[in-house]
Structure 1
């Protein structure tokens, strides 16, 4: 499969997913519980790796969507002028432009073609992107571009699910062994997060606090939040 074919495939898969957009709305109790859990885990991961002065860090998010993750980084103290996002789908990019401050640079199109200088970024953030890329060669092409943008000592900040979803052929899980294949020079520090969404949807109907109860069982967590460090030299 060519890179162009995979890009077209991604656009088609996201178009099909748009029909169920209400399932991911933050006003849903299960979605809010998931977001809050991930925010806490992200904060802890950043602190664990010495990110105590976020205003000094330069970050680009691959697949920034409508800008929700970048907005979270702003709330954590990252500066708009030091943040960038790249998004393939024009309609999602337009939403991000409405939400985010003008000083935050946003780019449209294929992230692999983004002309970022090598070694210019402290963090490259990627959230539930690689699970939507079904072509191994395209995955590696994107991973190589992300690694090239990173400074020595920088890191890929990764969030994605690690197991296949048999009900959705438009995605596939990305286990940690695959993350290591994509970034063979990287040192991975990872934690399991996110209660399996079908379980989360069911239990929060009974009571929102049951999310934390069920999420206490690591085997029920379907996603990985990881810090993939680039060697300092």
Structure 2
């Protein structure tokens, strides 16, 4: 009989190594300021996302931030975690998982020491079941090119989520033909990954090439162009787990 657990583990380990390689390629020659809030486009996109995120969490009755246990999967250098701290999440109840050691160290450097940052593959972590009120997944699944590993991670996240809690999802829905290291995650795929979830969704984020060009002219162009839904490249969702 084939050992499916061993095969699954091998597949996830392979994909984790591939994700590390893809990020290393992406980081070569990348303008570090592109995602800094000092960049007018990055600031406009972040402000839009923050406003809509707060509204969606309020709709899900998850806006008493000091009472929430929150986990950011793929937390990068800690930007989302800092946002959550400013919103009032207790640092003792805030955790992040980051696959790349240099990003995990950068997150630890800017966050309170009591925040737990795991430098691990999320699929290898033993986090208690039904222990998290909100699990953040921002541009994580678009970096996983294996369908099977996407499904494994979605199942793991759902296992960690409390009934009544929600996954907070942000990812892009159009392929980038210039970047073979990522792929779009359309809404249909999100529904397949979290079939039991009650989804609330909004299209967000003015297409980056257009948005950057527009904001170089004037940041005031961002909301004008972003009023056209077809020009928004990402989706923001809450994926609520039934009680």
Q: TM-score, structure 2 length as denominator?
A: 0.93
Match 1:177 to one of 175, 188, 196: 188
The reply on whether 1:12 has 2:21 as its aligned counterpart is yes
Q: Which residue of 1 aligns with 2:117?
A: 106
The reply on whether 1:134 has 2:134 as its aligned counterpart is no
Q: CA deviation at 1:25?
A: 2.6
2-structure distance, mates of 1:144, 1:21 = 35
Q: CA deviation at 1:157?
A: 0.7
Match 2:97 to one of 54, 64, 86: 86
Q: Deviations over 1:174-207 (max 9, x none)?
A: 0111001001111111000000001101111111
1-structure distance, mates of 2:61, 2:166 = 12
Q: Which residue of 1 aligns with 2:50?
A: 39
2-structure distance, mates of 1:52, 1:120 = 17
Unaligned runs of 5+ in 1: none
Q: Which residue of 2 aligns with 1:221?
A: 232
Task: Kindly report structure 1 stretches of 4+ aligned residues shifted beyond 3 Å.
Answer: none
Q: Trace 1:26-175 onto structure 2 (pairs within 5 A).
A: 26-175=37-186
2-structure distance, mates of 1:14, 1:135 = 16
CA RMSD after TM alignment: 1.0
2-structure distance, mates of 1:60, 1:52 = 15
Q: TM-score, structure 1 length as denominator?
A: 0.97
Q: CA deviation at 1:24?
A: 2.1
Unaligned runs of 5+ in 2: 1-9
Q: How many pairs are equivalent? A: 232
1-structure distance, mates of 2:35, 2:18 = 21
